[in-house]
Structure 1
Amino acid sequence: MTVRRIAPLAILAAMFALLVLPVIILGFRSTAESYNQEMHHWLVIENFAEQWPRIDFSNYRSATSPGYHLLMAVPRKLGLESPSSIQLISSLFGLLVIAITYLVLLKWVPPWQAFVMTLPVAVAPYIISTSSWLATDMLSLVLILLILFLCSFSPVTAGRLVLLSILASLAVYTRQINLWLIGPILLAGLIASPLGFSLPDRLQSELDVVRRPRNFWFAVLACIPPLLVLAYLVDQWGGLTPPGYRELHNSGINFATPGFFLALSVFYGIFLLPLLASCRGYLVVPWSRVIVVCFIALAIVLLGGSSHDQEAGRWGGALWSLARIFPSIGNASVVLVPLAVLGALVLFSLWTIAMRTGSGRISTVLIISWFGSIAAQSFNSQCFQRYLGPLMIVLLTWLAVLAISGTRTRDRWWLAGFVLMALVQLAMALVIVHGPSLGSG
């Protein structure tokens, strides 16, 4: 890579470090993530280090798979005794998320544009918080982004499917809910097989010039290892989560998650309005399609419930707090219901533009995979914004670059939306991550 490409990434890394390092070095506390570190993740890491190499995975103080804790137990076993030293190592996963986001954007836009578009990711509050304290989130997100990149942006080959199988197994061993990643692997294999010829013209791509029957069957085989990983964990736990967390996270499907996802889409997507305006020539669609999208979104959010209700798992995050402030009619929030409809329109608009500008295959695989992640997340009884926000801000950015790059517009004013989004995310990070500790100090 040239200096012209590396310099923006270095600036992004510096901004990330300025937000994360004070939390680690000064020992900031008073947040949910710091509580989770002290009462859950650090205890598991210490316990694994003490038990090494014969570790008991049957019941430990975390709701997720043991992969992250096992990895962090290695430096603990090698002599790093303070949580802050392990936090520094763990924060590198957040840095990798930023790097992956930026490097993918470089395939479509110049470095300075990729820099501006990555700014909101580099300062996003949930990326900063789960990079500052010990948490499984960023390692999980790194693996997810690598898999989605390989399934969406690159040709499917036998070698890549082997790599995808390894990454998916690691992702499930980090968070069991990541089993949804077998979906994009199967989808990519299906498109790269002769069955892909039957897809509409706009879903055809130069990525799939060579289509072989074996691609799909190799994709099926690639899904077996992550399934075996989950089977092993279920055998160890006696269920889908460690016993101590079954009531909180595995007590039933949360039907509010899909509607909340749509509402959250406009929470971030509102900053993409300048970009959509620049691409308005590609957004001429029959009103009937718009009405269908709105109707589906309305049905999802109304049937699933959208009022703030901690007992029902509808809490945790700025958007749920907004729903708590404003009134609800039954289980329907007067704020989240219209936001869900608008969010669906944002996603539909980005996909429509990408389809019409030559990125139909990539955008469709991304969106279908994304919907699969939401379906999987619904099996978690808790719908925290932290579970959806980090992946959303990255995928919206990737969909945005697919949309704008294909239009070949000379406008650059749409980048103002990303600057404004970054400023809002930065303000939220300072309030959510740094504010409680500074206030208590």
Structure 2
Amino acid sequence: MLLLLLLVSCGGLYALCSYSPKPIRDDCGNILDPVGGSVLKNGIGMLMAVIAKYRERSSSREHTDEAIERFHATEDHKFFNESYYFNGSDLKTKDRIISRISHRGRGGAKSYVFLLLDLERYGQLSLEQDHVDADVDQYGNPRALGLVYECLEPMKRWRIKYTGKMKRGCVHPQESNTCKQDLVDVKVDMLYSRETPVFWYMRDDTPECLGKNLSQEPWGLQFLQVCLKRSKNHGHYEDYGRLCGTIRVNNDTPIEYDMGTFRDHSWDIRSWKCMESLLIVLVTLEQPLILFGHEYWYLDLTLVSMPGNSSGVARYSTGYVLPKDGTGAPTLALTTATSVNDIPWKTREDGVHEPMPKTQVVMNVRPNDNANAKPASIRINMNGPIRRLMYWPDDGGFVVYEDSMDITVTEVTTGKSLNAYGTRQSGHRVGTYDPTVDGGC
């Protein structure tokens, strides 16, 4: 009898370790990410996700909004990176402003900064520079090269200001010092006001998405050590709002804008070159998307591939759909989505990868406070004429394409489609990945 119980127990354990649930597919039959692992790994991953969510919830509450919005304690690590990022798009003209200020490297001593403008009247204008001495103004606000992000009300309102020269076109860093430069005078003065709840990574992710991002990985001692270490001194939160104000070029009449805008603030140990590729969809809807009986206006889908990553996950999926603040509608968080491995790229003769002219992705979401809700399925189509902005972080080791396109968002069950505007952000490593040099994310 004891032998029989032992055999049954061993058989059950083997089944838990070896059996994987059927993958979730979209309406076209494509397998969606995260796929997870075996039943046992999924269970452990879910437990890790619950712990991570609790820690992130505690971390987001133990500091004041003002402290959270400021630069954080840096680490003595060459891949430390704290970044502020804005991405705004105007409904009428599809004009855009995209900007980042980051403190990075050991002690956060250097800054990577860019300001990109895509203006119907003037074309593409750019300012991009790495290895700038990190700086803040007298109030601790991020600033570099004449660009300032002024925090007016923590977690609610920011002002973006710039006065200076910008180049026509987006120029690779290696060419910027040798090519003929056509410079223009630019003045930016715009006010960002948050309109949505804040989405805090891990805290607001669904546990099944977060857990399966972990359980689909081959686990080893280093992977588990990284998961434990990442529970300290890191953070990542995002929100959407309106960016209103003026942009003036060459002392011409200032252009007034009211842009649907994405904002991101994050800090961690990470390297752009660690990633193989990424796709981030940043969308503002022209009319509200009705899901679970509520109106939703903004969405984000983030898919990252890091197959050679030496210190974390090899691929990662997250995303959300946000209502306007104060409506009582819950945040909708991702359960599954199109796999980043299924996003095609074209390769130029010089080996550099470029995104395809069209992209279609699916994301399934549910209220992040209701585990019993059946996820809603959304399809996002991006095609048509492309207005492209580009930048090259890590000294050109990675290239990012920020494309304005025709965007349609469809609720799969009803088939109802809505027009949207924003950016398809696609990025790809340039060259090969060496974990001993390029580190991990």
TM-score (norm 1): 0.24
- Which has the larger helix fraction? 1
- Which has the larger strand fraction? 2
- Determine which structure has greater relative contact order: mean sequence separation of CA pairs < 8 Å that are 6+ residues apart, divided by chain length: 1
